[in-house]
Amino acid sequence: MKDQYGRTIDYMRISITDRCNLRCRYCMPDGVELVSMGEILTYEEIERICRAAALEGVQKFKITGGEPLVRKGCVDLVKRLKAIPGIDQVTLTTNGVLLGEYADELAEAGLDGINISLDSMDAARYQWITGRDELSRVLQGVETALTVGLKVKINVVLQKEVNESEWEALAELAKYRPVDVRFIEMMPIGYGKGLCPVYNEDILQTLREKYPQIEPDGRVHGNGPAQYYKIPGFQGSIGFISAIHGKFCGNCNRIRLTSQGELKPCLCYGESYDLREALRGGCTEITRNAADESCVLSDNGQICENDLKEIREILRKAITQKPKQHCFEQLQNITEDKRMVQIGG
C-alpha cells in the first residue's frame, strides 16, 4: 500500500518480546522494568496481524525484539510467517548469543537472512557495552549461521570514546567472512538519547584513508536505507545506515509493531495505533487453517468475519498517517519515549 507521500509500504518490523539476554547500555541497561507476559502479543495475535498486513501489501517481515531468540517458539513463528500468502521474505535481527543453538532450525524454517548485532571484537569492551561476557558465543553464532547457509549481516553501533577505535576490526569481518558489515548511527531514542554517536561520514572518510579503492556498491542488499560500499579483496560489503545525517525518509518502506501490539508509523514519534486492543476486544483464537480473512474463530467459537477487517483498517490508517520524515536532528521535536528494546530498532 502507498502512503500519502507516495511511498510503498511493504515491510513490517515485528518486535516479539521486550526480554533480552544482554543489557546493552544504549538499549536495555540493567534494572529496566519488563512488562507482564499478558501484555505481550501472543504468536497467534502476531500471525493474525501479519496476515492482515500481507493483505495490505506487506511482503517482508523482520522479526526483532528485545532478543527474539529468547522467546520460545520463535523458529515456529518464522515458519508460520513464511507460509502467509504474499510474503516473500522473513528475516531476523539477533544479538547472536543463542544463534549457535538455533541457526540450523532457522535455516530449515526458511529464514531469508539474519542481522547480528556486534559492537566490539574485544571481550572486555563487549562485556562493558552489553553487560554480559558473551563475545565468544556471538562469534561462534556467526560461524554457525554461515555454515548452515544463512545470509548474514553484522550491525555495528559505534560510540565516541567507547568503541569508535574498533571501526577497522569490525569492518574487517567483511574481509575475512562473506558478511556485510553495516554501521548504524546511534539514534536519540530511549537510552540512546544523550550518548555520543560516531557519524557515518567520519567512518567512511577514515575507511577511504585506509582503503583508497573503496567505491559505492550499486547492488541491492536488502530492504533498508543502508548505502553500501565495496572494498577490493573484501568478501562482503560495508553498509552505512545514517539515521541522523542521511535523511532517507523519502524511501522509507516500513511500519513497526511493538511487542505490546502498538503499530508505529515512524520510529521518531510516539504516535501509535493499538492493535492489541483491537484484537482482544474481539476475537482471541485463530484456527490454524484460517488462510484468509473470512475464517477466524472467536473465543466463544463463533466465526468472526470482521476480525481482520478491523485490523486492516487500522493498518491502512497508520500507513496513511505516516509522517513525511523523522526529526532526529531536532531533539526537542522527538516525541517517542519508549525504549528501543520495546520497539525493536
Residue 61 main-chain phi, psi, to 5 deg: -120, 140
Q: Per-residue x/- marks for ligand SAM, 88-127, CB under 6 A?
A: -----xxx---------------------x----------
Binding status of residue 58 toward ligand SAM by CB under 6 A: no
SS3 115: strand
User: What residues line the site for ligand SF4 (CB under 6 A)?
Assistant: 20, 22-24, 27-28, 65-67, 95, 117, 130, 341
Cα separations in angstroms, 160 against 90, 195, 204, 266, 329: 33, 8, 15, 27, 18
Stretch near ligand SAM under the rule CB under 6 A, chosen from 20-28, 29-37, 215-223, 295-303: 20-28
Binding status of residue 226 toward ligand SAM by CB under 6 A: no
* 157, 26 Cβ separation under 8 angstroms: yes
Binding status of residue 158 toward ligand SAM by CB under 6 A: no
Indicate which of ligand SAM, ligand SF4, none lies near residue 157 (CB less than 5 to 8 Å, by partner kind).
Answer: ligand SAM
Binding status of residue 342 toward ligand SAM by CB under 6 A: no
**Smallest distance, ligand SAM to C-beta of residue 126, A:** 12
**Smallest distance, ligand SF4 to C-beta of residue 15, A:** 9
How many degrees, rounded to 5, is the angle at CA 19 between CA 141 and CA 61? 70
- How many residues bind to ligand SAM according to rule CB under 6 A? 22
How is residue 139 written as a grid cell? Answer: 562469534
Indicate which of ligand SF4, ligand SAM, none lies near residue 192 (CB less than 5 to 8 Å, by partner kind).
Answer: ligand SAM
Positive/negative CA dihedral, 253, 257, 263, 264: negative
Identify any residues that bridge with 180 across adjacent strands, giving them in sequence order.
Answer: 153
| Separation between Cα atoms, residue 229 and residue 76, nearest integer Å | 35
Indicate which of ligand SAM, ligand SF4, none lies near residue 222 (CB less than 5 to 8 Å, by partner kind).
Answer: none
SS3 315: helix
Which of 55, 261 has the CB closer to ligand SAM? 261
Contacts 24+ apart (CB under 8 A), 296-299: 296/48
**Smallest distance, ligand SF4 to C-beta of residue 321, A:** 27
How many residues in total does the chain contain?
345
Stretch near ligand SAM under the rule CB under 6 A, chosen from 105-113, 181-189, 220-228, 310-318: 181-189
Q: Which of 98, 184, 275, 334 binds ligand SAM (CB under 6 A)?
A: 184
| Separation between Cα atoms, residue 307 and residue 15, nearest integer Å | 22
Query: HSE on the CB side for 163, CA within 13 Å?
Result: 28
How is residue 266 written as a grid cell? Answer: 515512524
Residues 233-272 within binding reach of ligand SAM (CB under 6 A): none
Query: HSE on the CB side for 176, CA within 13 Å?
Result: 8
Q: Which of 150, 187, 296, 308 binds ligand SAM (CB under 6 A)?
A: 187
Indicate which of ligand SAM, ligand SF4, none lies near residue 155 (CB less than 5 to 8 Å, by partner kind).
Answer: ligand SAM
**Smallest distance, ligand SF4 to C-beta of residue 155, A:** 9
Which of 91, 130 has the CB closer to ligand SF4? 130
Which of 161, 209 has the CB closer to ligand SAM? 161
Residue 62 main-chain phi, psi, to 5 deg: -115, 125
Query: DSSP characters for 31-58?
Result: TPPPPPGGGSPPHHHHHHHHHHHHHTT-
What is the binding site for ligand SAM (CB under 6 A)? Answer: 20, 26-27, 64-65, 67, 93-95, 117, 155, 157, 184, 186-187, 189-190, 192, 340-341, 344-345
